[in-house]
Amino acid sequence: MAAHLMPVGAPARDHLDWPFFAESHRALAAELDGFIARGGLGEIDHADADGACKKLVKVLGDAGILRNCVPAAFGGVSEEIESRSLCLIRETLAYADGLADFAFAMQGLGTGAISLSGSDELKQAILPKVARGELISAFALTEPEAGSDVAAMATAARRDGDEYVLDGEKIFISNGGIADVYTVFARTGEAPGTRGISAFVVFADNPGFSIVERIETIAPHPLARVRFDNCRIPASQLLGEPGEGFKIAMRTLDIFRPSVAAAALGFARRALDEAVAHAKSRKMFGATLADLPTAQSTLGEMATAIDAASLLTVRTAWRRDVQKLPITREAAMAKLTATENAQWVIDQALQMFGGRGVRVGEITERLYREIRALRIYEGATEVQKLIIGRELMKAAR
């Protein structure tokens, strides 16, 4: 089913007046709103998630939006990947359509480790093409028995002369099956636990790499289980130093985790706008739904939940961009609050729509499915709570 985009206009931009944003961000927001209003995303066929995402990567590349995913030296917009821009783009795209947000986000997440730790040769070979939408990227960390517990990773890589040989499996890999390049984490054994993990670039045509299974989820996205069976890659495709993989993964996630919160905000803002429009037009008890105090109260709570999450999210992005400070705790707080609040906001919006809200094809129904995954991927809600608690204990010491 093709998506009909943004019937209630663009997301609210009041928060762009907050001191966390600069004029460049307001210009970016206006550019994004104009792009979508002109139909820049086109019709998005959710029944063909693979085809839709391939098309969206090309569209976003042609529009220059993917340039925000890589550093300026390799075709990007700013010297370093900027969190506030990522957040604005993801919030805007998620408001319009979840697959559009997904296509953008994975170009950044899939190559974030390359931007941080890749050799100049790898960066030059990959990043400009990612920015132009000519290569699709993926981030391969999760395993069947190692999701939140990265230390339990079983995929292994051994050095063999000028090559590394990878063996193992990864699961729930976003863009799995359509990606051209994968950032892969594997155990190299320099030390126990997470200190013995390294990061690699694997291309889809590297011998020994295969797609084992395509995975269908509650909201259609390209997902797969991938296998490395005596997969030989040049040693030059190592990112950073041996044993630095976990640090690289966490640095990458810290950059993009605030943008997950922003995507949740986009979904929540769309749900609120849909609920307000519906409440104003829905005739009930001789008035409209919007005239009922219970509806007004619910809408007030929804708006407050969104603003609370938005403040945490942009505070985190600003702290990273401007103050150049660590954001592990702040990113966890933003991701936790934004995704949980968005789930509640969308549920309330669906409730206001009544039976119509659960019909397949309704925006509230789509949003309800889209938000659920955000409470799990890039660190489930429970993991975010652990991260926050751990960081508090560190500060107390």
Q: Which run of H or of E encompasses 374?
A: helix 363-374
Instruction: Please state whether the predicted TM-score (pTM) of the whole model is above 0.85.
Output: yes
Q: How many CB atoms lie within 10 A of CB 13?
A: 14
Q: Which of 260, 266, 216 is nearest to 381 (CA)?
A: 260
* Tokens matching residue 52: 């839709």
Q: pLDDT truncated to tens, each residue of the chain (397 aa)? A: 444 344 446 777 889 999 999 999 999 999 999 999 999 999 999 999 999 999 999 999 999 999 999 999 999 999 999 999 999 999 999 999 999 999 999 999 999 999 999 999 999 999 999 999 999 999 999 999 887 788 889 999 999 999 999 999 999 999 999 999 999 999 998 888 889 999 999 999 999 999 999 999 999 999 999 999 999 999 999 999 999 999 999 899 888 889 999 999 999 999 999 999 999 998 888 889 888 999 999 999 999 999 999 999 999 999 999 999 999 999 999 999 999 999 999 999 999 999 999 999 899 999 999 999 999 988 899 999 999 999 999 999 8
Q: Which of 152, 150, 154, 188 is nearest to 168 (CA)?
A: 154
CA 145 – CA 118 distance, rounded (Å): 28
Exposure of 376 by Cβ count < 10 A (0-12 exposed, 13-18 middle, 19+ buried)? middle
Q: Do residues 142 and 215 touch, judged by C-beta distance below 8 A? A: no
CA 113 – CA 185 distance, rounded (Å): 10
Please list the active-site residues: 378
Q: Do residues 153 and 159 touch, judged by C-beta distance below 8 A? A: no
